[in-house]
Amino acid sequence: MPLFGRPRNREPVRRDTKLGTFLGVFLPTILTILGVIMYLRLGWVVGQVGLDQTLLIVILANTLTLITSLSFSAIATNTRVGVGGAYYIISRSLGMEIGGAIGLPLFLSQTFSVTLYAFGLAESLRILWPEIPVPVAAFAVVLGVGGLAYRGAGLALRAQFPLMVLIALSLAALGIGAAGGERVEAAGPWEPGEPLGFWTVFAVFFPAVTGIMAGLGLSGDLRDPIKAIPRGAIAATLVGFAIYLAVPVVLARAATPEALQSDPLIWTRIAPLGIWLVLPGLWGAIFSSAVGSILGAPRTLQALALDGLVPRRLARTAGRRGEPIIGLSVALAIALAAVLLGDLNAVAPVVAMFFLTVYGMVNLVAALETLSGDPSWRPRLSVPWSVSLLGAFGCFAVMLLIHPLAAALAILIEAGLWVYIARKERQADWGDVRRGVYESLIRWSLVRLNQHPMTARNWRPHILVFVGNVEHRLDLIRFGTWFSQGRGVVTVCELIVGDILTETFESRERERRIARALHREGLIAFGEVDIVRDVISGITDVSQANGIAGLDSNTILLGWPDEIERIVQFLHVVRRLERLNKSVLIGRIQPGLIPRAGEERTIHIWWGGLQRNGDLMLLLAHLLTRNPEWRDSHVHVLSIASNEHMKTATESYLNQLLPEIRIEATIDVTIHPKDRSVRQIITEQSADADVVFLGLDPPEEEEKLTDYARRLEELGEPLRTVFYVKNCTLFVGELIETASAIAEEQEREREGETKAAETERARVSKV
């Protein structure tokens, strides 16, 4: 089912034309497994390392492929597998970015495989026709395979049935020849070459068993993919495993090691009527592998087109079976163009890397799905996560063992594609395993976080910002993220005053609008929308409810309103939130204040003696200066003393406190002149300051709140940006320890970076 509308020229696919388990999965899979390596290289493997090590190689290689078969079978029995096979599985589990990064190389490797098999078939034709031009023969093979595919997957797959008969005849002939004849000797003088290691020989053999997903590529053509894929794939893998265990034993009995190493076509010398029984099986195996690739490649491209990762017209289909005719044409054109290169030996290792990457990712998907604990993960075929994870690591290890450079190249290409697709910011409407994994990690962390009580040392500002409209309060939200400094959680809440039964609005759409605005401004915060009956109870209720398992908002950030009545309402909120041990910041912000790195800024903290708000103001100022935009700021701690004695005492206290908490600040204590008010002193000294922190202490008496609100407005009016701070944490007077702890942590980080840089310079100088 297309995600972005039905492609043109596509007729309904009738259920009775769909493929079953044998023809759609088992046959293409077993024919791809029993390929050219079995005929031309398995004898060489036995001759190189002996029967015992050959059997070990077969067991190791088939164990990896069997695990992969189990993994993608588990995925296939949990959900519908659509067009695209392996790409569909990966993209729906790990997201479109990773799926696209794997899907594009998968399509190219399937396409190039057609050319590789065509070259193999052309080379083998030289046995009967030594003068045949290999590129011309390969070109003709690609055209023949493409012609079959154009007639439809069903016809192409039915053409593979007689090819399976030819392969079975060649295997029977090999067994008869080994049972009834003498051991075959080397045909002529033979000089042993340099002995090859176990892993080198393993690398040569492993491509023989990498055809296990041939049937998965036809998932969109299957009558019942949930049943057909696991049954057909696992059966083909086990049959191939048994054959690969038997053939080395037969070859070791029928020929000497020298003959096995020196003659790639040793089968023709062992089997009766060898050249007439073996060569058709060899050609059938190569041709069937090419057919499997030419059928899978356009369907992978079709899936990429349906998801919008390549032009949509490539998903266009034709015929009553809905063949991806455009994708098939593109795949065939690429395969034919590759023939003109004359030799794809240099490309072959990279192609193999892409296949192995796909296998590894499928195993990783199965492991993550199981680990995530997602309720939707209910496969009929259950595989332990440890088994799938072992298969994933095994595939990646084999990549490095086969060809480290090609493995690195494949990973770099896929990483580049992932970055490109991720930057295009495509949105998919399906869920994936990543959310399940993140939720499992969050749950694990919250359970352990709840076991460790909160202290002043590990207190961090988790800020809840209340706004009427995000677009109008971006400056306030920006300060919230600066105060959290990447160490706390910032939540932005739009409040709507009304009745939830009568209010008509789309909460999801508004939350998406908030998310878009935050993303556009580069602000890391979470958005939510709440309907409340009035401002006072609404802020209080949402503040109580926000958070989970001890990770709740502890600091409420409000913007300065335009009306005195709203300021009074906020003061009522402050008194209520004080009972909940939630600190409150009310910010009056200069519009458009966005400092840049390198600009000198000034931050003023008005210290009210030993009052409870001072430690939180110090901590907020310290966190503000840790942001790149404020890193070159100068912090000034100012205070007003009633007499010389109080001035000396305040200066002594601050001079002792600031070095202990490792906050660099200038101290300025002024004796209160009799002819000037506190408001006048603050206005004169902080008029040019970029940010000013002032304490907030609403009176208990209701009748005094309005006068207090007017004084706050008069005090902040001449200043650029001012924050009124009410410290209501459980650790009043202790939060400056947090500032010290954060400063120590950052100092250790800087020391680590300095040591790393010195080590790198020393290494470079030695070179």
Both tokens of residue 141? 């093979």
pLDDT: which is higher, 17 or 207: 207
Report the CATH number that the domain containing residue 138 is assigned in CATH: 1.20.1740.10
- 142 vs 136: CA distance, rounded Å: 10
Residues 393 and 540 in one domain: no
**123: which DSSP letter?**
H
- Answer for the pair 91, 100: CB distance below 8 angstroms, yes or no: yes
Q: Which residue has the tokens 């595989």?
A: 383
Sheet holding 601-606, edge to edge: 526-532, 490-497, 463-467, 555-559, 583-588, 722-726, 691-695, 601-606, 633-641, 666-671
What confidence category does residue 244 fall into, taking pLDDT thresholds of 50, 70 and 90? very high
Mean pLDDT of 618-642: 87
Note the pLDDT tens digit of each residue in 290-329: 777 787 788 888 888 887 777 877 777 776 656 778 888 8
Encode burial over 154-188: b for 16+ CB neighbours within 10 A, e otherwise: bebbeebeebbebbebbbebbbebbeeeeebebee
User: Is the CB of residue 319 less than 8 Å from the CB of residue 151?
Assistant: no
Same domain? 491 vs 400? no
Tell me: pLDDT of 29 over 80: yes
Residue 2 lies in a domain: no
Per mean pLDDT, which of 293-307, 308-322, 412-426, 739-753 is the most reliable?
A: 293-307
What is the share, in percent, of the chain residues with pLDDT greater than 70? 78
CA dihedral sign of residues 594, 600, 606, 607: positive
Q: Is the predicted pLDDT of residue 700 greater than 80, yes or no?
A: yes
| Nearest C-alpha neighbor of 664 from the set 654, 672, 650, 674 | 654
The verdict on residue 14 lying in a domain is no
Residue 234, phi then psi, degrees to nearest 5: -65, -40
pLDDT score, position 760: 45
- 520 and 413 belong to one structural domain: no
- According to DSSP, the residues that pair with 636 across neighbouring strands are 604, 666
Q: Cα–Cα distance between 374 and 436 in angstroms, integer?
A: 6
Q: Identify whether the C-beta of residue 729 lies closer than 8 Å to the C-beta of residue 581.
A: yes
Global pTM reads 0.61
Assess if residue 661 is contained within a domain.
Answer: yes
Is residue 272 domain-shared with residue 382, that is, in the same domain?
A: yes
The whole-number pLDDT of residue 723 equals: 95
Summarised one tens digit per residue, pLDDT across range 484-504 is: 887 788 999 988 887 777 766
How many structural domains are present in the chain?
Answer: 2
pLDDT interval class at 73 (50, 70, 90): confident
Residue 467 and residue 339 share a domain: no
Same domain as 33, residue 118: yes
> In this structure, is residue 398 part of a structural domain?
yes
Cα 746 to Cα 129, 212, 230, 626, 743, distances in angstroms:
74, 51, 53, 9, 5
Paired tokens of 452: 């460790």
User: Would you give the distance in Å from CA 174 to the centre of its chain?
Assistant: 48
| Domain end marker among 423, 450, 474 | 423
Round the average pLDDT of the chain to a whole number and report it: 79
- The answer to the question of residue 759 being in a domain is no
Position 6 in a domain: no
513 and 412 in a common domain: no
Cα 507 to Cα 175: distance, rounded to the nearest angstrom: 71
**Window from 436-440, 458-462, 674-678, 691-695 with minimum mean pLDDT:** 436-440
- Using a pLDDT cut of 90, give the percent of the chain over it: 13
Q: What is the pLDDT of residue 733?
A: 66
Residues 670 and 578 in one domain: yes
pLDDT tens track for 153-165: 566 666 677 888 8
What pLDDT is stored for residue 556 in this prediction?
92
Rounded distance, CA 529 to CA 23, Å?
A: 54
CA dist 107 and 89 (Å) reads 15
Indicate whether 714 and 633 sit together in one domain: yes
Quickly state the pLDDT bin for 646 (edges 50, 70, 90).
confident
Question: Cα–chain-centroid distance for residue 724?
Answer: 42
pLDDT for the residue 748: 55
Residues 225 and 356 in one domain: yes
Q: How far apart are CA 485 and CA 89, in angstroms?
A: 38
Q: Indicate whether 407 and 471 sit together in one domain.
A: no
Q: Is residue 198 part of a domain?
A: no
CATH of the domain at 540: 3.40.50.12370
Q: Residue 45 belongs to what domain range?
A: 20-183+205-423
Q: Which of 56-60, 220-224, 446-450, 665-669 has the lowest average pLDDT?
A: 446-450
Of the pLDDT bands very low, low, confident and very high (cuts 50, 70, 90), residue 132 is confident
Which tens digits make up the pLDDT trace of 542-552? 888 887 766 78
**Which pair of structure tokens corresponds to residue 229?**
């894929």
- Cα gap 441→320, rounded to integer Å: 48
Q: What is the pLDDT of residues 568-627, one digit of tens each?
A: 999 999 999 988 889 999 999 887 667 666 678 899 999 885 457 888 898 889 888 888
Least confident piece of the model among 18-22, 439-443, 469-473: 439-443
CA-only gyration radius of the chain, Å: 36
Closest by CA to 62, choosing from 205, 204, 197, is 205
Q: In this structure, is residue 277 part of a structural domain? A: yes
531: number of Cβ within 10 Å: 17
CB 598 within 8 A of CB 566: no
CA distance 506 to 169: 68
506 and 364 in a single domain? The answer is no
Closest CA to 60 of 373, 418, 394: 394
